[in-house]
Amino acid sequence: MKKKFNDTGLCVANKHYMVDTSPQIKKIFTDLIKHGEYFTINRARQFGKTTTISLLSEFLSKKDDYFIIETSFEGIGDEIFNNQKEFSQHIVEILSDELEKQEVNLNYDFKAEIKKIKILKELSKIITKYAKLLNKKIVFIIDEVDKSSNNQLFLSFLGMLRDKYLLQNRGKDYTFHSVILAGVHDVKTIKLNIRDGKEAKLNSPWNIAVDFDIDLSFKPEQIVTMLDDYTQDTGVKMTNKKAISEKLYYYTSGYPYLVSKLCKFIDEKIITERKDKNWIIEDVESAYKLIIAPDYQTTLFDSMFKNLQGYKELHETVKFIVMGGLSLSYDTYDPIVNFGKIYGIFKNDNGICKIHNRIFEQRIYSYFITKTIRENAMKQPNFHPDFYYKEELNLKFILQRFQQFMKENYSYKDEKFIERKGRLLFLSFLKPIINRKGYEFKEPTVADERRMDIVITYNEKRYVTELKIWRGPKYHNKGLQQLSDYLDMYSLKQGYLLIYDFNKNKKYKQEQIKIKNKNIFAVWV
């Protein structure tokens, strides 16, 4: 049976093409488990947490001095968290079942103890007996802890594990060698009221846990290992495997789900439409177009937009980063930055907060454009035949019409409004014109948040437009040099410049500019 690229749930080696993540697995063991650390693998949705746990369990099960107990809170219902008796009995049942699965006989009937357990204190004693009789390094792994992370009983359970951990370090108890929780949130930050006599103290039930800072994203050299697996299994060839893996990383920043999804598109949609089934680097861009298409939906994107729509401050911060070029320090003490990090929207780019990957950025970018189109439906201009020239865009005419549109509809708006909304207005103006036959994407601009480079692809032809705010002739000339250099990246001789001028006596002018061997058409609005 041919394996597949997996985009749902757990990855299994004999069913799916997989990246070799053994470096991360070994690092988790040597840096954390070997030292008896308790920690949370907290990563965004579909970031490979469950697969990592499965591979980690497999790795540890080969070590004679380790005993692995793996469970999940997904699908067990809410009732079990309603009282100590049901919860405690469930945990003992997990411990007992694992002995049977691994065919271990401790000469003690833990099954018989299940019905006797009523409170966490009794559960604690069972764990002590279990660890003492087993006499191995027990690694207890719980996946999908998010649904229970705000439940008082579960937090009390974590508090009990913490107390046992501290006592074990003093030689006064036996308990799990290492405990691993997996979920989107880091439960270490959750607080629990612990009473000390009459005094109520706010404390964390998981403050013994160390930070989990191991990178689970796929690097280009790791993506190659999945492509190796694929080519060996199918006999399909790749023109340049290294370049393809780097291009996959370019669009995804190594987000596991996105890497697999692009590969799945290439394998199951793109190469099936041609006689030559071999992969070329352009296939990655074709897959990118499929995943950013407005009609493509996935639970990952649904979850991202749900979080954006549900949290106004996050929504506005993301909007200013994507549409306004906001430069924000990556400081996880900032609750908005931390929130964006938890849900996989933000990443740390040399101390600057950036959108995690180009696919997310493009989807978010399209979301804000579509929203603006909807809000300005009555003002949106009608299509004009001169927007197109044969199978090409007449971008010069499009910019001229946008200039007219801004003069007629927004000349009365103040500077702050235009600076905040101007770029978005142009993109919402442009999108209906290029829909179906093209798309636009924003290139990241380094060290200059006052400009935004837009690359438009229409019928396989590219057009580069720079959006900038007028700051005087010096910055204007510098911007022309930057645009000229940027055109070189795409081997283009023609570029376009849209300038927002906030001077009171400004003119809605147009200008044809020659710089080096480039022609730049500029309009002022």
Same domain, 188 and 54: yes
Among candidates 71, 408, 396, 340, which has minimal Cα distance to 184? 340
Among 270, 292, 314, give the residue marking a domain's end.
292
Q: Can you give the residue range of the structural domain that contains 234?
A: 220-292
Interatomic CA distance for residues 140 and 65, integer angstroms: 14
In a domain, residue 332? The reply is no
Kindly tell me if the per-residue pLDDT of 202 is higher than 60: no
- pLDDT of amino acid 516: 87
Examine the domain organization and report whether 484 and 413 are in the same domain. yes
The predicted pLDDT at position 199 comes to 40
CATH at 60: 3.40.50
**Could you tell me the pTM of the whole model?**
0.84
Query: Residue 361 in contact with residue 322, Cβ under 8 Å?
Result: yes
CA proximity to 522, closest of 461, 476, 490, 478: 476
pLDDT at position 203 is: 57
With beta carbons less than 8 A apart as the criterion, state whether 210 and 32 touch: yes
If we measure between CA atoms, which residue out of 340, 350, 364 comes closest to residue 446? 350
- For residue 364, is it within any domain? no
46 and 160 assigned to the same domain? yes
Residues 519 and 481 in one domain: yes
Give me 518's structure tokens: 């480039």
Angle at 248 between CA 247 and CA 250, to 5 degrees: 60
Residues 158 and 261 grouped into a single domain: no
Is 426 among the domain residues? Answer: yes
Q: Does the structure show a pLDDT above 70 at 444?
A: no
Is 316 part of any domain?
A: no
Number of domains in the chain: 3
Asked if residue 35 belongs to a domain, the reply is yes
246 and 184 part of one domain: no
Residue-level pLDDT at 201 = 41
Are 156 and 232 found together in one domain?
A: no
Q: What is the 3-state secondary structure (H, E, C) of 298-344?
A: CHHHHHHHHHHHHCHHHHHHHHHHHHHCCCCECCCCCHHHHHHHHCC
* Dist. CA 87–CA 124, nearest whole Å: 12
User: 490 and 425, same structural domain?
Assistant: yes
Reported as a single tens digit per residue, the pLDDT across 393-427 is: 899 999 999 999 888 888 777 666 776 677 788 88
Question: Does the structure show a pLDDT above 80 at 134?
Answer: yes
Please tell me the predicted confidence (pLDDT) of residue 284: 96
Does pLDDT of 36 surpass 70?
A: yes
The answer on pLDDT for 447 being more than 50 is no
pLDDT of residue 286: 92
pLDDT at 451: 58
Domain final residue pick, 203, 236, 256: 203
The yes-or-no verdict on residue 448 having pLDDT over 90 is: no
> Could you report the per-residue pLDDT of 313-349, keeping only the tens digit for each?
999 999 888 876 667 899 888 989 998 999 999 999 9
Higher-scoring residue by pLDDT: 393, 503: 393
List Cβ neighbours of 519 (8 Å cut-off, separation of 6 or more): 493, 494, 495, 512, 513
Q: How far is residue 369's CA from residue 372's CA, in Å, rounded to a whole number?
A: 5
DSSP 192-246: EEEEETTEEEEE-TTTTPBP-----SPPHHHHHHHHHHHHHHH---BS-HHHHHH
Going by the DSSP 8-state scheme, the letter that residue 149 receives in this structure is: T
Mark whether 230 and 196 lie in a shared domain.
Answer: no
Do residues 96 and 243 both lie within one domain? no
The CA distance from 176 to 353, in Å, is 38
254 falls within a domain: yes
- DSSP string of 262-301? HHHHIIIIIGGGSS---B-THHHHHHHHHHHSTT---HHH
The answer on 161 and 111 residing in a single domain is yes
- Contact partners, residue 273, CB within 8 Å, separation at least 6: none
Please indicate, yes or no, whether residues 46 and 194 belong to a single structural domain of this protein.
yes
Among the candidates 169, 203, 237, a domain finishes at 203
Q: One-letter amino acid identity for 373?
A: I
Instruction: Read off the pLDDT of residues 453-472 as tens digits, 9 standing for 90 and up.
Output: 788 888 878 899 988 888 88
Tell me which residue of 460, 468, 478, 518 sits closest to 494, measured CA to CA.
Answer: 518
Report if residue 209 sits inside a domain: no
Long-range pairs for 31-34: beta carbons < 8 A, 24 or more residues apart: 31/214, 32/178, 32/210, 32/212, 33/60, 33/139, 33/177, 33/178, 33/180
Q: With respect to residue 7, please indicate whether it lies within any of the assigned structural domains.
A: no
